[in-house]
Amino acid sequence: MEQYLVEMKNIRKVFPGGVVANDKVNLSIMKGEIHALLGENGAGKSTLMNILTGLYRQDGGELFIRDEKIEGKYGPKEAIAKGIGMVHQNFRLVKPFTVAENMVLGNRKTIIYDEKSIVSKIEEISEKFKLQISPKAKIWQLSIGEQQRVEIIKMLYKGAEILIMDEPTAVLTPQEVKSLFDILKGMTKEGLSIIFITHKMNEVLTYADRITVLRGGFAIKTLNASDTNESELADLMVGRQLDTKRMIDDGVNIGDVVLKLENVGAMNDKGLPALKDVSFEIKGGEILGVAGVAGNGQKELSEVITGLRSVKKGSVIFKGDNITKESVRKIIDRNIAFIPEDRHGMGLANNLPATDNAILKMYTKKEYGRFLLNKKKIDEATTKMVNDFEIKIPNINCNVKLMSGGNLQKLILARETFENPELIIAVYPIRGLDVGATDYVHRKLAEERRKGKAILLISEDLEEIYKMTDKVAVLFDGQIMDVLETKGADIKKLGLLMAGIKEEVDTNA
């Protein structure tokens, strides 16, 4: 059984701007296996699959499908002709159309819509793999799980033999997850191969035959699911070598409790529970890190504190006041700063000048004008931000969309610390920044801590957690698994907590 259906050798992909998304990646897929691609966000899983499905072209390395080297034109159409089909995380279905109508969309060979033969073919596929989909149902009438099965049928209808599933369980309930994998297992028995992209370790161990772990664009290792365990996978995923040189000094005076969360519960945008009984506190002069794989409630956590998301349960207390139900504006006026994850869509208005962006939080203050805005005062404040934070910008009336990522983050940082905040919520503040800008952001946060401010630092990077935090809370599936002193925290234990495993590990092993 050593015959590979797909082989990717030494794949390298560099994006404009020099970001290396994949390098020296090897991946081989056998006939009839479920192969998991495991890695954190940004590990290069999707890029690799986009190369396999012909959306991207690799900058280096070779791709073989059934021992045939792929050269020349290779796009999505060629990929599906070779039997490679992908089910994307966001379904590509036309909702008012029926299942049958969705099958032939984009298929240029279909000139006449022969419903009878399409329906019978769908029924045949549905029967064979127990997908239980009625060909004449309209997409909008179907549940998310059913829509996903329609996507699977669509790929099989087009003749896919290798099915790539991008985070297939992200949208499903636990029961649906189980039935999905039952179906996938059944498909492998018929000789199909499945690749599924995920960052959830438990699924990988339960359902996959083989696992390839990606980290930072490299394929770290391929293992058999039966020969490994959570602890090893956690190690491979987060990496062991850490630069543990701390950037914050010890012996800062710890002040009173600034922020306290008590049993906070909240929903995500899809209406599913995203935070469950979250409790912790941060004191002045303290940085609390939140570690965890992205998508475990980080975004929601930052939003319940800043008033952007309603709290279903529990309370948020800021310096003794209950702010659980307060509006965003009220919370801003309490001097709580927020460095959001989404710099472009949330932190800044791209097509507006730096001046407009500089006053986003304080435009309601009377010194900037009660009715007509005081242009002179605004320009002064903006100029001060630009000078203090060494922001590179041609002039302060320039649209911010022309600025680089590092300068954008500096502008946000300048604005958020302008009014001397008591509490700073920072979500992935160094995402996408180069080394210099990363260092700058960290130094500024350390400086605020020294001034006695409380900081919540949500991070996807354990190195950052080690460098910057006093304590670390691990978030998994909307719950705080544990809160540890960062100094001396065991990386292996953190990795396991991030995977949702709480039992004590023998650290001497």
Partner 1 sequence: MLKVEKRMETPTYLKVVIPIVSVLVAILFSSLILLITGENALAALNTIFAGSLINWQEVLVNGVSLMIIGIGIAIAFKMVIWNIGAAGQMMMGMIFAAGVALFLHVWIPPALLLPAMFIAAIIGGGLWALISGGAKAVWNVNEVITSLLLNYVALYILQFLVNGPWKGVKSMGFPQTDPFPEAARIPTIFPTGRLHYGLLIAIIVVIVFYFLLNKSRWGYEIRVIGEGRNVARYGGMSLAKNIFIAMFASGALAGLAGAIQVSALEGRLSPHMNTDIGYTAIIVVWLSRLHPLVIGIVSVFMGALLYAETSLPAAGIPTEIAKLMQGLILFFVIAGDFFSRYKVKMVKE
Distance separating alpha carbons of residues 39 and 212, to the nearest angstrom: 9
What is the pattern of x (binds partner 1, CB under 8 A) and - over residues 386-405?
-------------x--x---
Q: Spell out the alpha helix ranges (H) of 221-350.
A: 230-238, 298-306, 328-333
| Shortest spacing between CB 425 and partner 1, in angstroms | 12
251-310 binders of partner 1 (CB under 8 A):
308
Q: Which amino acid is at 302?
A: S
Least distance from C-beta 342 to partner 1, angstroms? 7
- Does 465 engage in binding with partner 1 (CB under 8 A)? no
Among 371, 488, 504, 508, interactor with partner 1 by CB under 8 A:
371
CB of 343 to partner 1, least distance (A): 10
- Rg from Cα positions in the chain: 25
33 vs 341 by CB, closer to partner 1: 341
**Residue 171 and residue 350: Cα distance in Å, rounded?**
31
Out of 124, 322, 328, 376, name the contact with partner 1 by CB under 8 A. 328
Using alpha carbons, select from 216, 211, 217, 218 the residue that is nearest to residue 232. Answer: 211
What phi and psi, each to the nearest 5 degrees, are found at residue 334?
Answer: -80, 0
Amino acid 214 reads L
Q: Rounded to whole angstroms, how far apart are CA atoms 408 and 417?
A: 14
Choosing from 373, 419, 432, 477, the residue that interacts with partner 1 (CB under 8 A) is 373
Choose the binding region for partner 1 from 98-106, 254-262, 327-335, 497-505 (rule: CB under 8 A).
327-335
Contact residue for partner 1 among 76, 265, 369, 405 (CB under 8 A): 369
CA–CA gap between residue 398 and residue 43 (Å, rounded): 34
CB contact burial 218-241 (16+ within 10 A = b; e otherwise): bbbeebebeebebbebbbbbbeee
CB 391 → partner 1: shortest distance, Å?
18
Among 375, 376, 451, 487, binds partner 1 (CB under 8 A): 375
Q: How far is the CB of 17 from partner 1 (least distance, A)?
A: 15
Instruction: Tell me the closest approach of the beta carbon of residue 75 to partner 1, in angstroms.
Output: 22
422 versus 470: smaller Cβ distance to partner 1: 422
Question: In terms of CB distance, is 98 or 302 closer to partner 1?
Answer: 302
As a whole number of angstroms, the distance between CA 139 and CA 338 comes to: 39
Length of the chain measured in residues: 509
Interface with partner 1 (CB under 8 A), residue from 69, 95, 370, 392: 370
User: Which residues lie closer than 8 Å to 160 by C-beta, 6 or more apart?
Assistant: 80, 83, 84, 85, 192
Q: Give the whole-angstrom CA distance, residue 243 versus residue 39.
A: 20
C-alpha–C-alpha distance, residues 133 and 99, integer Å:
8
Cβ 30 vs Cβ 4: under 8 Å: yes
What is the rounded CA–CA span in Å between residue 498 and residue 482?
A: 10
Residues 147-176 that bind partner 1 (CB under 8 A): none
CB of 395 to partner 1, least distance (A): 12
Residues 101, 153: contact at Cβ < 8 Å?
no
* Contacts made by residues 44-50, CB under 8 angstroms, sequence distance 24+: 44/13, 44/214, 44/216, 44/217, 44/218, 45/197, 45/214, 46/166, 46/197, 47/13, 47/21, 47/22, 47/217, 48/8, 48/11, 48/13, 48/22, 48/214, 49/86, 49/164, 49/166, 49/195, 49/197
Question: Per CB under 8 A, does 332 bind partner 1?
Answer: yes
- Which one, 252 or 360, has the nearer CB to partner 1? 360
Options 17-25, 150-158, 321-329, 441-449: segment touching partner 1 (CB under 8 A): 321-329
Residues in binding contact with partner 1, number by CB under 8 A: 33
Q: Which is nearer to partner 1, 171 or 360 (CB)?
A: 360
Query: What mask of x and - would describe binding to partner 1 in positions 347 to 366, judged by CB under 8 A?
Result: xxxxxx---x--xxx-xx--
In the bound state with partner 1, the residue whose beta carbon lies nearer, of 95 and 370, is 370
- CB-based contact 339:287 (threshold 8 Å): no
Name which of 107 and 310 has its Cβ closer to partner 1: 310
Q: Does 327 sit near partner 1 (CB under 8 A)?
A: yes
Shortest Å, Cβ 363 to partner 1: 6
CB of 147 to partner 1, least distance (A): 22
What's the CA gap between 304 and 311, in Å, rounded? 6
The CB-of-352 to partner 1 minimum distance in angstroms stands at: 6
C-beta closer to partner 1: residue 194 or 391: 391
DSSP string, 308-333: SS--SEEEEEETTEE-TT--HHHHHH
Interacting residues with partner 1 between 402 and 431 (CB under 8 A): 402
In the complex with partner 1, which residue's Cβ is closer, 106 or 345? 345
**Sites of contact with partner 1 (CB under 8 A):** 308, 327-333, 338, 340, 342, 345-352, 356, 359-361, 363-364, 369-373, 375, 399, 402
